[in-house]
Chain A
Amino acid sequence: MSFRTPLGQARGLGSAKEGTAHWWAQRVSAVALIPLSLWFAVSALELTHADYVVAVNWLHTPYVAVLMSLFLATLFYHAYLGVQVVVEDYVHTEWLKIGSLLLIKFAAILLAAAGIFTALRIAFGA
């Protein structure tokens, strides 16, 4: 039996003030991904049979570097937010859940960094 009041027990566990933050971030990134992913899909289709020179020339275009960086950042942000919910829904062992979420978050950041760095390196390169 606990002598702590219900308010005391609830304090420090986090408030509901950020309750919609995750949901909202997922929607905002979703809206941004509508034009970005359509742009990427059309570009990828145009590059289907492209050789190295054509692909690198395309990535060398300034607007492509900007859109590709924005696409990658938004994509990995949105993907992490989505996969996070899937893990939270299905993984109920606490250490496994936290471990998976950390691993997925680090992987998403690593991939985003590698992708954006490469896009910019090609854009700024010769």
Chain B
Amino acid sequence: MATDNRPVSPFWIYRWQITMTMSIMHRATGVVLAVGTLALVYWLVAAGMGPGAYTDAQALFGSWLGQFLLWGWTFSLFYHLCNGIRHLAWDAGWGFEIKTLYQTGYTVWVAATLLTGIALYMAYTGGAA
């Protein structure tokens, strides 16, 4: 039986498109954010435990690994938020034309990157105390 020329899966025959990257990124950032909830609850519980635990948590989030993770979660949050709004627009029946699809796709990338930049700027320059 000749099976050599059968197409195996769309991943091997599709040309790269921004839409596919955006889709997989939406899922990936969602999973990253789900893991990030652990950090949020840790921060809250540390605040509930007292000054010692809270200072430890702040030190952990302030370490290079902690900051790296926080940047990742920040970008993931803004990406998932912006692209989530894009998804909700589709659910309402808007934005399915190829041209609009690409425009909104690039807008999500720009918006998520800008918001992450603003957040990082705020985090390193401002903040209470």
Contacts and interface: CB of A to CB of B under 8 A. Distances in A.
A27 B84 CA distance: 9
Given A41-B119, A114-B41, A115-B40, A48 B127 contact: yes
A118 B47 contact: yes
Q: How large is the interface on B (under 10, 10 to 19, 20 to 34, 35 or more residues)?
A: 20 to 34
Interface string A74-95: 0110010011001000000000
B47 A52 contact: yes
Contacts of B18: none
Contacts of A82: 27, 30-31, 34
A45 B77 contact: no
A34 interface: yes
B65 interface: no
A114 B84 contact: no
Identify the interface centre among B33, B44, B74, B91: most chain A CB within 10 Å of its CB: B44
Nearest to A118: B48
B128 A54 contact: yes
A79 B88 contact: no
Nearest to A68: B44
Contacts of A34: 81, 84-85
B128 A37 contact: no
Contact of B48 (A37, A49, A76, A122): A122
A27 B129 contact: no
B41 A111 contact: yes
Nearest to B74: A41
Contacts of B40: 72, 75, 115
Given A47-B128, A50-B129, 7 more contacts: A47-B127, A52-B55, A72-B41, A75-B40, A79-B34, A82-B30, A86-B31
3 residue pairs, one from A and one from B, having the closest CB atoms: A48-B127, A118-B48, A49-B127
